[in-house]
C-alpha cells in the first residue's frame, strides 16, 4: 500500500467516525425530546411505586425535564428535587449542550472532509457512509455487549470523566432523581441511542446510494 492509499484510508476512517458521532448526537437529541422513553420508564420500572408519586405528577416532572434541556433556564424548577439534584441537572444540561455544540462543529468538518475525499480521491459519499456503517456495526456490538455486562462500571466512569464534582453521587432511597430514573433506565437509553443511530446510518446510506445510481 502506497502513501497515497494510506492517506486516503486514514482520511476516510476519520470522516466515517465523525459521521458516526454526528449520528449518535442526533439520536440523543431526538430521544431526549421524545416522551416515549419516559413513558417506557414509568411502566417498565414501576416509577409510581418507587416514588409514591401520582402518574400525573411523574408525567409533569418528565415534561419539565425534557423542556429544561432545550430552554434557556439555568436551573431546573421542580419542587421535589433537592438543591443537590437541581445543581446536578445543571451540570447534565451543560454536558448535553457541549455535545450538541461539538456536533455542529463536526458537521462542518464532515462536509469539508467529504468534499476533499470526493475531489481528490474520488470517494463518493455513499461509499463513505457505507464504510461508517461497517465501523458502526463493530462499535455497536462492542458497546452493546459492554453496556449489558458492565454498565454500572461504565456509568460511574462516565460520571467521573464528565463531571468535576460529586453532585452526581445521589441516594437511590432518598433522592427523587434516582428513584424516578434508575440506572437500568440509563442503560436502556444508551442501547436505544446506539440502535437508533445504526438504523439512521442504514437509512442515510440507502438514500445516498439510491440518489447516486439515479443520477447516473
Domain boundaries, the chain: 3-69+106-215
Residue 31 pLDDT: 96
Burial (CB count within 10 angstroms: exposed 0-12, middle 13-18, buried 19+), residue 15: buried
Confidence at residue 215, expressed as pLDDT on a 0 to 100 scale: 67
CA count, 13 A, side-chain hemisphere, 158: 13
C-alpha cell at 201: 446510518
Residues 6+ apart with CB under 8 A from 96: 28, 32, 69
The pLDDT of residue 3: 87
Q: Which three cell numbers stand for residue 148?
A: 449489558
CA distance linking residue 63 with residue 157, whole number of Å: 28
Q: What is the pLDDT of residue 213?
A: 77
Model pTM score: 0.93
pLDDT < 50 stretches in the chain: none
What DSSP letter does each residue of 5-74 carry, written as one string?
A: HHHHHHHHHHHHHHHHHHHHHHHHHHHHH-SHHHHHHHHHTTHHHHH---HHHHHHHHHHHHHHTTSS-S
pLDDT digits (tens, 9 = 90+) for 83-116: 999 999 999 999 999 999 999 999 999 999 999 9
Nearest to 133 by CA among 192, 188, 208: 208
Eight-class DSSP state of 79: T
Residue 83, classified by CB atoms within 10 Å of its CB into exposed (0-12), middle (13-18) or buried (19+), is exposed
Residue-level pLDDT at 212:
78
Please tell me the predicted confidence (pLDDT) of residue 211. 84
Amino acid at each position: 500500500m502506497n502513501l497515497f492509499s494510506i492517506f486516503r484510508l486514514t482520511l476516510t476512517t476519520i470522516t466515517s467516525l465523525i459521521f458516526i458521532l454526528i449520528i449518535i448526537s442526533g439520536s440523543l437529541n431526538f430521544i431526549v425530546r421524545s416522551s416515549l422513553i419516559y413513558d417506557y420508564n414509568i411502566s417498565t420500572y414501576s416509577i409510581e411505586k418507587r416514588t409514591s408519586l401520582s402518574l400525573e405528577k411523574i408525567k409533569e416532572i418528565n415534561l419539565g425535564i425534557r423542556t429544561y434541556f432545550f430552554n434557556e433556564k439555568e436551573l431546573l424548577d421542580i419542587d421535589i428535587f433537592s438543591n443537590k439534584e437541581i445543581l446536578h441537572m445543571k451540570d447534565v444540561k451543560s454536558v448535553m449542550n457541549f455535545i450538541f455544540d461539538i456536533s455542529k462543529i463536526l458537521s462542518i468538518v464532515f462536509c469539508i472532509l467529504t468534499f476533499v475525499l470526493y475531489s481528490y480521491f474520488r470517494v463518493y459519499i455513499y461509499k463513505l457512509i457505507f464504510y461508517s456503517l461497517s465501523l458502526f456495526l463493530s462499535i455497536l456490538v462492542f458497546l452493546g455487549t459492554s453496556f449489558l455486562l458492565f454498565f454500572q462500571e461504565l456509568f460511574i466512569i462516565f460520571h467521573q470523566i464528565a463531571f468535576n464534582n460529586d453532585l452526581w453521587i445521589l441516594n437511590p432511597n432518598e433522592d427523587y432523581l434516582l428513584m424516578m430514573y434508575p440506572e437500568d433506565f440509563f442503560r436502556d437509553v444508551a442501547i436505544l441511542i446506539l440502535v437508533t443511530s445504526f438504523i439512521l446510518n442504514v437509512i442515510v446510506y440507502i438514500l445516498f446510494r439510491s440518489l447516486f445510481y439515479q443520477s447516473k
